[in-house]
Amino acid sequence: MNKTKLPHRILVVDDLSVMKRLMTQFLNNMGFENVLQADNARDALLILKTEKVDLVISDWMMPEVDGLMFLKEIRNDEKLKGLPFLMVTLLDQKENIVKAAQARVSDYIIKPLNAEIFQTKVKKLLGLQ
């Protein structure tokens, strides 16, 4: 893996700090140094209102506002609606994948996270392949 520093800003949203750390580590290993983190969708939306972000990576299962509701809020926001959104989830049932697709998720990945699959999807969403 080349250690080229990549200028993209990525927002990682997960209520579990261990998952935020893992995803941030994967991103750092790819050369992404500008990784922002949020514990929940509300905090993430505040960040998105003040920071330019190139990609959102969000957990689905979060308290209060889940990842699907968060995605829908982004897609309904004129300024954010085109933002690439990678959903991370344990929910691999077809109905959940369909719900995410209907909400215009850019891509999704099923936990447990595989570094190679994660990195491939991030590169694809950022047009780095």
- Can you give the residue ranges of every domain in the chain? 6-125
The answer, yes or no, to whether residue 128 has pLDDT greater than 80, is yes
Stated as kind and residue range, the H or E segment containing 125 is helix 115-125
Assigned token pair, 105:
């998720």
**Taking the alpha carbons of 44, 48, 50, 51 in that order, is the dihedral positive or negative?**
positive
- The CATH superfamily assigned to 6-125 is Response regulator (3.40.50.2300)
Say what the pLDDT of residue 69 is: 97
- Give per-residue pLDDT as tens, 28-57: 999 999 999 999 999 999 999 999 999 999
Say what the pLDDT of residue 3 is: 63
Residue 89 half-sphere exposure toward CB, CA atoms < 13 A:
20
Say what the pLDDT of residue 129 is: 80
Mean pLDDT of 53-77: 97
Query: Residues, the chain, total?
Result: 129
